[in-house]
Structure 1
Amino acid sequence: MLHPVSAPNGATAPAYSDRIGFAQLTRRAFEGGDLHPLREHLLARIAEGTAEAGEGLDLSLIAQLLGEKEAGLVIQTEVLAFHQLFRTPCAVAKPRMRVLALAADIDMGGNTPIEFLLEGSDIELLTLYVVKGIGLPETLPDHDVAIVVASDSAECREALAVIEQAAPRWPRPLLNRPELIGNLDRDKLYRLLADVPGLDIPVTANATRAQLTALSEGRIACAEITSELHFPMIVRPRGTHAGVGLAKVDDAAALKAYLAERQEQDFFVARFVNYASPDGLFRKIRLTMVDGKPYACHMAIADRWDIWYLNAYMAFSEEKRAEEAIFMREFDRAFAARHKNALDEMSRRIGLDYFIVDCAENQNGELLVFEADNTAVVHNMDPPAVFPYKPPQMRKIFAAFTAMLSRHAKASEGNPA
């Protein structure tokens, strides 16, 4: 059954094209598999004129996984110009539910990697790319529940606007509403969460290169950018993630040196928070929020403040992994219980059905929030021999996610479109 939805510039009756997809290809790359033979096979299919649209999208992802981001995005844009709907087959021949993910034409990190959350389940995933100049089709493919997977990035804003326009008439439950995703941008998130009791989130302000240059030369003071700002401060190019361009600058001279190495024109700045534990180590936590409930995703432990999981080298420290295992095992009655009120209020204000939070505890014991987004990778790729405590925890998150989808789908059964 196809569902009508009013949208400008729409095509009719879309048909899906199968693809290998994000989860399988990323897993192959993560485990050290050689993607080059598959790339050559797909290139040959394209040269012969026999390639399907889904194969073209797989080729785009392979190029990105091999470090050829620009080439991959060119391929993706070319494919999406003539085909926008793709299927990632599920683990069973007859799915019990069909989920429609609404994505944007952006790099592989710009949409929620929902395939990992559904991997091995009996839920079929259709991904509809909302493309500039094409928009939504006049009729939507049959689905039980839809979820917006586009991010708060500038490249996704047109897609989010198109979805938001159609949202009031959406024929099935629509999760992660587009108007809420925009609140995850760093400066907006601060304004949303600034006065939550028990939660510490530094003022994050936009600063232009001209402003930071003036600050580095002593022509303006930190307070002229935002009243809370002072040295040392954190600076990063606007729109970047995963630590790209992130730096702590201790004084004006360090800021001047930083700017000399960067080409960007817009940045985010915030006060530096020393969140080291009494033992001198930093502990950065990733939470997955599903249906308003927090789940431990990982805890990275390192002697540096700018942690993400890979640079904490957790795989090489039995002691760190033992602490992470305890953190996960005791999460509900320890970390989640300590910060229950802050987590509940944060979830209520953000309002999304599914999102990820990178956080820590500050030296006053408050929940220190670094960022929240809907596109961080939550996966089960870590080797069980090294991380035996992780598969059960990841399965718990995946089960919560699929249960949330089922709850919304069931709630709409009595009110069919």
Structure 2
Amino acid sequence: MLHPLAAPNFADRIGFAHLTRQAFEGIDLHPLRERLLARIAEGTAQAGEGLDLSLIAQLMGEKEAGLVIQSEVLSFHQLFRTPAAVPKPGLRVLALAADIDMGGNTPIEFLLEGSDIELLTLYVTKDKGLPETLPDHDVAIVVASDSEECREALAMIEKAAPRWPRPLLNRPELIGNLDRDKLYRLLADIPGLDIPVTANATRAQLTALSEERIACAEISGELHFPMIVRPRGTHAGVGLAKIDDAAALAAYLAERQEQDFFVARFVNYANPDGLYRKIRLTMVDGKPYACHMAIADRWDIWYLNAYMAFSEEKRAEEAIFMQDFDRAFAARHKNALDEMSRRVGLDYFIVDCAENQNGELLVFEADNTAVVHNMDSPVVFPYKPPQMRKIFAAFTAMLLRHAKTAVGSAA
């Protein structure tokens, strides 16, 4: 049972955005790590410093060690504060997070950078659950992802959601819709939108397919070679491959240990110039915003392997894409984007997409935890900071609108 709100007992931390920015800019985090380790050894470290140390370990490639530290800290403290950029915050936001690696919760700190919003992050863990008395806040948002490790946290938040004393955004029961094998069912029949069926396939099924004992259609009606295969539960292109035939599938399986995979038909979305253009959209309060456009001569693009920083021509095209976005891309796909936003139902989420060769909106995936940041060099990417600030302003305006609506209805 959730009791009335109380003054928050938080621990301050440096936080995700600040530390990630330092790592991104090549600042050596070793001295800070050593200082924090020394404080732990002395027994003088605060809970927030422990959480910072966990993040530093992950940023330095020591994921397992970082997660051990994080779980240890969360066993005795759940609530952390990232202070606002101003002395007197205009709004207090409560983010509901899970005990997962640094990519498993929405990196909301980036979205609030430079604002007058104070962020409290409450970690909902299997052992601790939700506290009986919630910390005082104006608006709450679920930042845990749809991944397996977050299921228990989402279930606990969902159980408490009907009695939540303040507006609750990105409601937990809707986050599961972003699963790769659920999203296509949700969006499949939207006119002007193309989303390949993503089907679960066991290792045994794929082995049978590689040995031509079963046909593609026995896994999914629309599946055929070439196909896309990835291990279930992986992100950022880990294990992702285009498989052209049964022999290639056999070779792929020989290299992988996993037992469960996602498979989908391959869509050739190359433009007439032979280049692929993959777009990241940020959906805020039902409205799409351009986050980036990666341009490369390979289908399996993400922003880093498109090497945008090394091509003035690619950056010029991305700049025009952003400048013209509302009257070009967003206008062309307005109906599909509106209906997708309505069906997904989340207040904030990210879509990776492209345009297929018929000019339809080709959706690859959607999630609520992709990093939307303003860390790129303003010298190399002068068009990006204004665009990112536009997204951040929309996000903070959405939080404020919900907080004000709640105050108005209470009055």
- The answer on whether the counterparts of 2:7 and 2:136 sit within 8 Å (CA) in structure 1 is no
In the TM superposition, what whole-angstrom CA distance separates every residue of 1:194-249 from its partner, at most 9, and x where no partner exists?
00000000000001111111111111111110110000000001111111110001
Q: Secondary structure at the match of 2:230?
A: strand
Counterpart of 2:307 in structure 1 is 313
Counterpart of 2:6 in structure 1 is 6
Q: Secondary structure at the match of 1:413?
A: helix
- Cα 1:234–1:7 shift into 2, 3 Å: farther
Counterpart of 2:391 in structure 1 is 397
- The answer on whether the counterparts of 1:354 and 1:374 sit within 8 Å (CA) in structure 2 is yes
In the TM superposition, what whole-angstrom CA distance separates every residue of 1:242-281 from its partner, at most 9, and x where no partner exists?
1111000101111111111111111100000000001000
Structure 1 residue 387, shift from structure 2 partner:
0.1
Given the alignment, which residue of 329, 334, 341 partners 2:328? 334
Q: Secondary structure at the match of 1:230?
A: coil
- The answer on whether the counterparts of 2:5 and 2:136 sit within 8 Å (CA) in structure 1 is no
Counterpart of 1:198 in structure 2 is 192
- Cα 1:6–1:119 shift into 2, 3 Å: closer
- Cα 1:366–1:6 shift into 2, 3 Å: farther
Q: Secondary structure at the match of 1:410?
A: helix
Structure 1 residue 133, shift from structure 2 partner:
1.9
- The answer on whether the counterparts of 1:7 and 1:137 sit within 8 Å (CA) in structure 2 is no
Gaps of 5+ in 2: none
- Cα 1:242–1:380 shift into 2, 3 Å: same
In the TM superposition, what whole-angstrom CA distance separates every residue of 1:10-43 from its partner, at most 9, and x where no partner exists?
xxxxxx0000010000000000000010000000
Structure 1 residue 415, shift from structure 2 partner:
3.9
- The answer on whether the counterparts of 2:8 and 2:136 sit within 8 Å (CA) in structure 1 is no
Return the alpha-carbon distance in structure 2 between the equivalents of residues 85 and 66 of structure 1. 24
- The answer on whether the counterparts of 1:102 and 1:149 sit within 8 Å (CA) in structure 2 is yes
Q: Secondary structure at the match of 2:409?
A: coil
- The answer on whether the counterparts of 1:7 and 1:138 sit within 8 Å (CA) in structure 2 is no
Give the alignment's TM-score, normalised by structure 1. 0.97
Structure 1 residue 116, shift from structure 2 partner:
0.0
In the TM superposition, what whole-angstrom CA distance separates every residue of 1:330-382 from its partner, at most 9, and x where no partner exists?
00000000000000000000000000000000000000000000000000000
Q: Secondary structure at the match of 1:412?
A: helix
Counterpart of 1:12 in structure 2 is none
Q: Secondary structure at the match of 1:5?
A: strand
- Cα 1:127–1:6 shift into 2, 3 Å: closer
Structure 1 residue 329, shift from structure 2 partner:
0.2
In the TM superposition, what whole-angstrom CA distance separates every residue of 1:284-341 from its partner, at most 9, and x where no partner exists?
0000000000000000000000000000000000000000000000000000000000
- The answer on whether the counterparts of 2:278 and 2:353 sit within 8 Å (CA) in structure 1 is yes
In the TM superposition, what whole-angstrom CA distance separates every residue of 1:115-173 from its partner, at most 9, and x where no partner exists?
00001110000000000021000011110000000000000000000000000000000
- Cα 1:376–1:239 shift into 2, 3 Å: same
- Cα 1:195–1:7 shift into 2, 3 Å: farther
- The answer on whether the counterparts of 1:3 and 1:171 sit within 8 Å (CA) in structure 2 is no
Return the alpha-carbon distance in structure 1 between the equivalents of residues 410 and 209 of structure 2. 59
- The answer on whether the counterparts of 2:200 and 2:263 sit within 8 Å (CA) in structure 1 is yes
- The answer on whether the counterparts of 1:282 and 1:303 sit within 8 Å (CA) in structure 2 is yes
Structure 1 residue 4, shift from structure 2 partner:
2.8
Return the alpha-carbon distance in structure 1 between the equivalents of residues 168 and 368 of structure 2. 15
- The answer on whether the counterparts of 1:85 and 1:128 sit within 8 Å (CA) in structure 2 is yes
Return the alpha-carbon distance in structure 2 between the equivalents of residues 165 and 355 of structure 1. 22
- Cα 1:7–1:343 shift into 2, 3 Å: farther
Q: Secondary structure at the match of 1:67?
A: coil
How many residues are treated as equivalent by the alignment? 411
Give the alignment's TM-score, normalised by structure 2. 0.98
- The answer on whether the counterparts of 1:8 and 1:136 sit within 8 Å (CA) in structure 2 is no
- Cα 1:270–1:6 shift into 2, 3 Å: farther
In the TM superposition, what whole-angstrom CA distance separates every residue of 1:68-106 from its partner, at most 9, and x where no partner exists?
000000000111011000000110111000000000000
- The answer on whether the counterparts of 2:290 and 2:322 sit within 8 Å (CA) in structure 1 is yes
Return the alpha-carbon distance in structure 2 between the equivalents of residues 127 and 261 of structure 1. 40
Q: Give the superposed CA RMSD.
A: 2.2
- The answer on whether the counterparts of 2:2 and 2:160 sit within 8 Å (CA) in structure 1 is no
Question: Which is further off, 283-292 or 254-263?
Answer: 254-263
Q: Secondary structure at the match of 1:372?
A: strand
- The answer on whether the counterparts of 1:145 and 1:405 sit within 8 Å (CA) in structure 2 is yes
- The answer on whether the counterparts of 1:360 and 1:368 sit within 8 Å (CA) in structure 2 is yes
- The answer on whether the counterparts of 1:6 and 1:166 sit within 8 Å (CA) in structure 2 is no
Structure 1 residue 7, shift from structure 2 partner:
18
Structure 1 residue 2, shift from structure 2 partner:
10
Given the alignment, which residue of 19, 26, 29 partners 1:32? 26
- The answer on whether the counterparts of 2:106 and 2:143 sit within 8 Å (CA) in structure 1 is yes
- The answer on whether the counterparts of 1:113 and 1:375 sit within 8 Å (CA) in structure 2 is yes
Return the alpha-carbon distance in structure 1 between the equivalents of residues 74 and 209 of structure 2. 44
Question: Which is further off, 358-367 or 218-227?
Answer: 218-227
- Cα 1:245–1:327 shift into 2, 3 Å: same
- The answer on whether the counterparts of 1:208 and 1:267 sit within 8 Å (CA) in structure 2 is yes
List structure 1 runs of 4+ shifted beyond 4 angstroms: 5-9
- Cα 1:258–1:142 shift into 2, 3 Å: same
- Cα 1:67–1:176 shift into 2, 3 Å: same
Counterpart of 1:224 in structure 2 is 218
Structure 1 residue 414, shift from structure 2 partner:
2.8
- Cα 1:368–1:378 shift into 2, 3 Å: same
Q: Secondary structure at the match of 2:365?
A: strand
Q: Secondary structure at the match of 1:51?
A: coil
- Cα 1:226–1:59 shift into 2, 3 Å: same
Q: Secondary structure at the match of 2:189?
A: coil
Structure 1 residue 8, shift from structure 2 partner:
19
- The answer on whether the counterparts of 1:7 and 1:166 sit within 8 Å (CA) in structure 2 is no
Question: Which is further off, 235-244 or 171-180?
Answer: 235-244
Q: Secondary structure at the match of 2:375?
A: coil
- The answer on whether the counterparts of 2:53 and 2:66 sit within 8 Å (CA) in structure 1 is yes
- The answer on whether the counterparts of 1:143 and 1:172 sit within 8 Å (CA) in structure 2 is yes
Return the alpha-carbon distance in structure 2 between the equivalents of residues 198 and 336 of structure 1. 13
- The answer on whether the counterparts of 2:85 and 2:116 sit within 8 Å (CA) in structure 1 is yes
